[in-house]
Amino acid sequence: MAIKTKRFINNVKNCSCSMPGVWRAVAYCNGAVVIFHSPKACAHVTRTMDINACYRVSSNDQIELLHSVPLLSTQMEEKHSIFGGISQLEKCAEFAIENYKPKCLVIANSCVAGVIGDDVESVARKIQYNYNLPVITVDCYGFLDGEYYQGYFEVTKKLINTFLKPLPKKQGTVVLLGDNGGPWGNYAIEVTRLLKKLNIEVIGQFPGYLPIEKLSVITQAEASIILGGRGQSTDILIKIAGELNSKFGIKYFDEMYPVGANNTKNWIYNVGKLMNCQEVANKLIKEEEENLCSAMKKYLPYTSNKKVILCIGRLLKYFDPINILEIIDKLYLDLRCIVLLNAYDEKSSNLMKAAIEKYTDVCICSGEIGESLLDGVDLVFTTHELRNKNIRQLFLPMLPNVGITGEIALMEVIYKALCSKFTHGGLRYV
């Protein structure tokens, strides 16, 4: 039988919606107000995503330092799908302007508005004329016209076209592009720390985290630093970086991201090359390497030859196995096998196998075979919470820790899991 999981992904394709992406691109831009021309459930889904993100941040001992901007819904009902919802949108917009005094109004259409053909653009023009207020409309129409990152990109592009203008460059400054947990998340904190070590100033994070009135400072940046991930988020962020480069001459590179020691060293080197501070970059690389070596000396006596299994159930575009495989090797852990959980079709399974086989010749087996091997190991690394309560598990996050600091933090969690005095299993989070 297959390994039973709590966090199980089946073979059905995930459905995505562009409206939460619209929201995320301006969620913490003070001065903005977002209106979903939609049933109220659309706004509820978006808020739920934000609450989940807040919990993820809190679990990493971080605190959200900003408050999100107002999110309103026109609360379309059945009658509006028959007779139209324009009057409802106009009332909602007037309410938002009178009560929140926004510096920018963002209107996102829902599937219902798209199907019935509500002329949102005419409402936007009317508001702009009557109130002398910038209005951004995003014709994504929920899941009919794209997915999360499509909405994210469309509103970002319109922010660039509406609010940004050429300004003199401020030497030694960068803007961070992307989200990945926000300015208070581990990713942005670690990248900012490394940039500071290189004597580079971060002037803001875009989109989503600069006040409307301060968006113009972006064009002062000498370069943009992409907070990359995997999958479509990377492609979208590269498109945004390209927009800023073509319009305002903000340079960037997109070859790699600082996840894992090797990628981190390459990332530092390339930032140094981009910002003309190679000597400082080389010094920082040496310093980070020394920190890693020092940490490994602490952990190796406890991790060497400990038996482990890696269970993977995420698609390759969302999960790169190489980082955890590299750490397993560095800690001299005895990797008995890699289990592909029952969450893949044949194509996605082959893609993951090919990525793994480029790095290691460790046996790759199915969940059926892996079930019989779980009880004989000291620790299981897993992308899905396993139902077996008697084994020690380490749940690998969707957003990996970045930098050598993040690699050391992961080693610390592994060390603590292996040194736990509890005889039973249990789940630890990175």
Q: What is the CATH number of the domain that holds 399?
A: 3.40.50
Note the pTM of the prediction, 2 decimals.
0.83
Could you list the residue range(s) of the whole structural domain that residue 113 is in? 19-163
381 falls within a domain: yes
Does residue 264 lie within any of the structural domains?
A: no
Asked if residue 289 and residue 424 are part of one domain, the reply reads yes
| In a domain? residue 93 | yes
Q: Are residues 79 and 159 in the same domain?
A: yes
354 and 415 fall within a common domain: yes
Q: What is the pLDDT of residue 9?
A: 43
Same-domain pairing of 50 and 81: yes
Joined together, the tokens standing for residue 217 give 């400072």
Of the residues 163, 191, 208, which one is the last residue of a structural domain? Answer: 163
Task: Classify residue 1: in a domain, yes or no.
Answer: no
What does pLDDT average to in each consecutive run of 10 residues of the chain (430 residues)? 55 60 87 82 64 52 67 70 69 89 87 64 86 85 64 89 92 90 82 94 91 92 84 77 93 83 92 93 95 93 93 86 92 93 84 91 80 82 83 84 90 88 67
Whether 267 and 193 have beta carbons less than 8 Å apart is answered as: no
154, 33: one domain: yes
Does one domain contain both 145 and 209? no
Instruction: Mark whether 293 and 400 lie in a shared domain.
Output: yes
Asked whether residue 14 is domain-assigned, the answer is no
Rounded Cα distance, 14 and 285, in Å: 40
178 and 157 belong to one structural domain: no
- Assess whether 239 and 302 both reside in one domain: no
Residue 149 lies in a domain: yes
Is 152 in the same domain as 134? yes
Distance CA 316, CA 158 (A): 31
Q: What is the pLDDT of residue 67?
A: 77
Interior CA angle at 325 toward 323 and 330, to 5°?
A: 95
CA-to-CA distance for 78 and 84, rounded, in angstroms? 10
Name the domain count of the chain.
3
CATH number assigned to the domain comprising residue 93: 3.40.50.1980
Measured CA to CA, the distance from residue 159 to residue 65 in angstroms comes to 23
Q: Are residues 24 and 124 in the same domain?
A: yes
Which of 254, 270, 299 corresponds to the end of one domain?
Answer: 254
- Using the CB atoms, write b or e for 297-318: b if 16+ within 10 Å: eebeeebeebebbbbbbbbbee
* Token duo for residue 151: 């909405």
If asked whether residues 146 and 202 sit together in one domain, one would say no
